[in-house]
Structure 1
Amino acid sequence: MEIKWLEDFVALAETSSFSRAAELRNVTQSAFSRRIRQLESWLGTTLITRATVPAQLTSEGRAFLPVAQETISTFYAIRETLRPSPGARLVRIAALHTLTLTFFPEWLGRLEAVAGPLGTSFIPDRGGIEANVEAMVTEDADLFLTYAHPEVPLRLDRAKFEHLTIGHDRLVPVAAPEVRIFGTPHKGAGILDRAVSGDLVVPCLSYGYASFFGVALGHLLAKRPPFARRTVHENTISAGLKKVAMTGFGLSWLPESLVAEELADGRLVVATTTDDWHLDLEIRLYRQYANRSKPVETMWRAAEQIQAEINP
């Protein structure tokens, strides 16, 4: 049993609507319904009458509601008593893996130049966009460090969450200097352009469809000229795709910050002569308005000061 199942149930009891409750819980309605069924399965009883609109609690659901509310309250009260004092607690950050390697180390140095030493801790990248957002929504993380693009919206209530734009990056199509296609070597430079012209079928390294980059690239490719391609490898982690790309397995879109050194020394090359295939990205930091713990507030104010100095 998971505490979020209880929180889902309470939200549904308060709204009498699966769609409204799912919106409040920042999940899709299908994921929300699945979690309610998981709770019912764990309890071994039906809590919601689904044949009526609005949704109504069964007699078992009405009996269980105060238990769920009390359990949630008790759980968070105990968590607070077990935590270190606010001044000593590490700021927990949910972050896309690439940003922990490229952006964060230097940015943290700038933050500490303003605010003094800061204690930080990364929670594991959960892969999908929704899962990473949920870490902050459920307060498993204090902050969420992510890439952002207008066509990959984050379902966050603007009344509850705020963000800072703290940097920029872009995805660029790259390949090794030599790419093997069905055993035949081809020049990596301009290989995307040749694929678009119909000269070859290019092997591609993919992020899949659940990750931020996978969704963003899906929108980009839908707007660009089609080209013959086949997916030869998939990984939600950019650093993993970079390693595979460097061996000559295929074309990959990678953050420019992640491949700057490889492009400079020729271990990777840009796969196109036009910027049309590049994808501009923001780097954002999110938090809940209600999160005003001293460590989080200190870090947030330092980030605001840095951005004010960059964009006076």
Structure 2
Amino acid sequence: MQLKWIEDLLAIEQTRSFSRASELRFVTQSALSRRVKSLEDWVGVELVDRGTYPVELTPAGRRFCEQSKESVGALTELRSELRQEARMPGRSIQITAGHTLSLTFLPKWLKQFHQQTGDFNARVVAANVHDAVVALAEGSCDLMIGYHHPLVPILLDRDKFVSLTLGHEDFIPVSAPDDRGKPLFSLPGSPDAPLPYLAYTATTFMGRVVEMILNSSDTPYHLRSCYETDMAMLLMKMVVERYGIAWLPVSAVSGEIEAGRLVRAGGEEWSVPLEIRSYRAISNTNPTMQDLWASLDTTVSVAFPDDEHDHVSKQGG
């Protein structure tokens, strides 16, 4: 039995919907269903009444959830305490960041704030969106840094978490160039020659952003999915090796574009701007984090006019 199976069932109890629960858990609906079935097999009884709408738990499911909440809460609290004891010494902060941002944005950002707030120790963990959200929600990190788009929101309780916008960058389609420096694969493709498409897995944040771009396109597109991963930097390497087209943050590909190894594979209509956001728990009392957050707030205030600052920098998660 796995703890995440219980958390899946608790999400179903909360939302009364498999589809909504799968969004909260950052997995596909089919994967969530399989995990709940695995939990039912372990318990030995049905926990979800699949014949009702909205979804209802069985009496056994309600009893199991009632008991599980205390157990999961106690284990989570114990884990938080143990991790707190293992924190880095002195002024320190624990950051969970998206894989791409941990390589492109975070090193320069940390250097900037070392200069502004003085020396502090930082432990950085690179993670996907689901694991990063879980780390923040469970108190395993002080800050979570990730991308944001209003149509692909990260679901965090606004009463418990706040966010600051740290910057912006474009999310663009790229291809290796041909001998003339033109894209080897260029959107929108054609029915006779669909473009080889290097995709993110469906449940990743960037995969959902690409889906949003394609679904909102007024131009018919023709793609042939030939590779899938949850790692943007791996997709970038595949594009450089001429395997196909992929969408990537500008920061991940700027060096390759300057070197002529990559080019844009479509016009502005195929790109979207992304925010880079930092999230924290309102209840977090780490003084190093609070000093850093205050410095961040001041920096954002300088970077944006007052009306924009109120809108973008102090939103709940």
TM-score, length-scaled by structure 2 = 0.75
1:122-133 maps to which residues of 2 (within 5 A)? 122-126=124-128, 129-133=129-133
Q: 1:49 and 1:271 mapped to 2: Cα distance?
A: 47
Counterpart of 1:245 in structure 2 is 239
Shift of 1:217: 0.6
Shift of 1:284: 0.7
* 1:88–1:65 distance in 2 versus 1, CA, 3 Å: farther
User: Residue 263 of structure 1 is aligned with which of 232, 257, 261?
Assistant: 257
Counterpart of 1:19 in structure 2 is 16
* 1:85–1:49 distance in 2 versus 1, CA, 3 Å: closer
* 1:106–1:227 distance in 2 versus 1, CA, 3 Å: same
1:150-165 maps to which residues of 2 (within 5 A)? 150-165=150-165
Q: 2:59 and 2:230 mapped to 1: Cα distance?
A: 40
Counterpart of 2:296 in structure 1 is 303
Counterpart of 1:219 in structure 2 is 212
Shift of 1:218: 0.6
Q: 2:76 and 2:195 mapped to 1: Cα distance?
A: 53
Q: Which runs of 5+ in 1 are unaligned?
A: 179-184
Number of aligned positions between the proteins: 296
Counterpart of 1:233 in structure 2 is 227
Shift of 1:221: 1.0
Q: 2:44 and 2:214 mapped to 1: Cα distance?
A: 47
Q: Which runs of 5+ in 2 are unaligned?
A: 306-317
Q: Percent identity?
A: 28
Counterpart of 2:77 in structure 1 is 76
User: Residue 207 of structure 1 is aligned with which of 200, 223, 243?
Assistant: 200
Q: 1:234 and 1:49 mapped to 2: Cα distance?
A: 32
Larger Rg computed on CA atoms: 1
SS at match of 2:186: helix
CA contact (8 A) 1:220 1:279 kept: yes
CA contact (8 A) 2:101 2:146 kept: yes
RMSD: 3.8
Counterpart of 1:181 in structure 2 is none
* One-letter amino acid of the counterpart of residue 249, structure 2: P
Counterpart of 2:140 in structure 1 is 140
SS at match of 1:172: strand
* One-letter amino acid of the counterpart of residue 263, structure 1: I
* 1:233–1:114 distance in 2 versus 1, CA, 3 Å: same
